[in-house]
């Protein structure tokens, strides 16, 4: 299934995409399951599958405004340097990493599909990073690799926008440059795990139609089960947590000279089977 959170008629709700329309699951399932997060937490994905199997769309897709798939996610944990060529981009002669590089992002640093990415007042170095994000569906701590994917409810896309000069302000962290408000995006849909399970996914990032990143998940240094298992060693993964799995080579900072985003640029992140996340860049105003 493909699930979306959307606004229509002055209300924000969620539903199932089907043949160009949307089944309004929020209205049909009632107050007990007000959003996708509640469905995941209640283990009620089967009720959405039942709707998808027999219900007709309530709304045309072009009549709704898409929001982020999860409006109130839990922890957002991002993975850095997770493709072989990305490690080489640093030109520091280092070996491939033994453990994943991790950092966190705040929900307000992401906008929805179709919303503007903001280049902040503080910097002209806004960059793009196309990535695949896992949405956790089942609570777990110290999860074994072989059991890891059973904890995934679904997947969405991420433009893990980064303000490059600000990631260098700290000696041991990149938090500042990864958390400017509205610098990245998530969406447009959440695809349930059964639609993706076991597939090699190709991720392509374009800026104004030009391909900048193009790679496949089988080349990740740390595969998705390993990431889940490793992260769950030091924290409990909860339903609604998001793990953003890393970006391929080709970000704007790695060109000579760098090719950072500017107002009017259109960034798209595409993965077959999940969809296309697209956002225009705008300059933040005071």
Query: Which tens digit of pLDDT belongs to each residue from 97-106?
Result: 899 999 999 9
Mean pLDDT of the chain: 95
Check whether 90 has a pLDDT greater than 60. no
Q: Which residues of 197-228 are buried (b: 16+ CB within 10 A; e: fewer)?
A: eeeebebbbbbeeeebbebebeebbbbbbebb
Distance CA 23, CA 148 (A): 30
Distance CA 221, CA 71 (A): 30
- Could you give the 3-state DSSP secondary structure of residue 85? helix
- Could you give the 3-state DSSP secondary structure of residue 18? strand
* Confidence (pLDDT) at 243: 98
Check whether 26 has a pLDDT greater than 80. yes
* Confidence (pLDDT) at 286: 85
Question: For 68-74, what is the mean pLDDT?
Answer: 97
Check whether 85 has a pLDDT greater than 80. no
Percent of the chain predicted with pLDDT > 70: 97
Residue spans per domain, the chain: 2-66, 76-283
C-beta of residue 233 within 8 angstroms of C-beta of residue 226: no
Query: Which tens digit of pLDDT belongs to each residue from 91-124?
Result: 566 777 899 999 999 999 999 999 999 999 999 9
Element (H, E) at 127: strand 126-127
Tokens 């229509």 locate to 8
Check whether 23 has a pLDDT greater than 80. yes
Percent of the chain predicted with pLDDT > 90: 91
Determine how β-strand 184-192 pairs with β-strand 110-112: parallel
Question: For 259-276, what is the mean pLDDT?
Answer: 97
Assigned token pair, 104: 């966190």
CATH classification of 76-283, choosing from 1.10.3720.10, 1.10.260.40, 3.30.360.30, 3.90.850.10? 3.90.850.10
* Confidence (pLDDT) at 87: 59
Question: For 143-161, what is the mean pLDDT?
Answer: 98
Check whether 86 has a pLDDT greater than 70. no
C-beta of residue 3 within 8 angstroms of C-beta of residue 69: yes
Which is nearest to 37 in space by CA: 5, 81, 78, 85? 5
* Confidence (pLDDT) at 96: 77
* Confidence (pLDDT) at 89: 61
The pTM of this model reads 0.95
């Amino acid at each position: 299934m493909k699930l979306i959170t959307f606004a229509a008629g002055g209300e924000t709700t969620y539903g199932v995409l089907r043949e160009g329309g949307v089944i309004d699951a929020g209205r049909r399932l009632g107050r007990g399951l007000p959003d996708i997060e509640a469905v995941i937490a209640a283990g009620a994905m089967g009720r959405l599958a039942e709707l998808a199997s027999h219900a007709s769309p309530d709304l045309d897709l072009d009549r709704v405004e898409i929001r982020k798939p999860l409006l109130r996610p839990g922890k957002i944990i991002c993975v850095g340097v997770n493709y072989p060529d990305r490690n080489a981009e640093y030109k520091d002669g280092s070996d491939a990493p033994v453990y994943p590089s991790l950092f966190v992002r705040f929900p307000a640093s992401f906008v929805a599909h179709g919303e503007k990415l903001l280049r902040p007042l503080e910097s002209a170095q806004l960059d793009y990073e196309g990535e695949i994000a896992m949405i956790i569906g089942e609570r777990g701590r110290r999860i074994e690799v072989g059991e890891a994917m059973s904890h995934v409810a679904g997947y969405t896309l991420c433009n893990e926008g980064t303000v490059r000069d600000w990631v260098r302000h700290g000696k041991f962290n990149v938090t500042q440059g990864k958390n400017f408000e509205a610098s990245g995006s998530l969406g447009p849909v959440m695809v349930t795990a059964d639609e993706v399970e076991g597939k090699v996914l190709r991720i392509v990032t374009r800026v104004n139609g030009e391909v900048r990143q193009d790679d496949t998940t089988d080349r990740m240094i740390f595969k998705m089960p390993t990431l889940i298992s490793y992260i769950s060693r030091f924290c409990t993964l909860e339903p609604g947590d998001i793990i953003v799995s890393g970006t391929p080579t080709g970000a704007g900072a790695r060109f000579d000279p760098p090719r950072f985003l500017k107002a009017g640029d259109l960034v798209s992140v595409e993965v077959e089977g999940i969809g296309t996340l697209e956002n225009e860049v705008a300059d933040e105003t005071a």
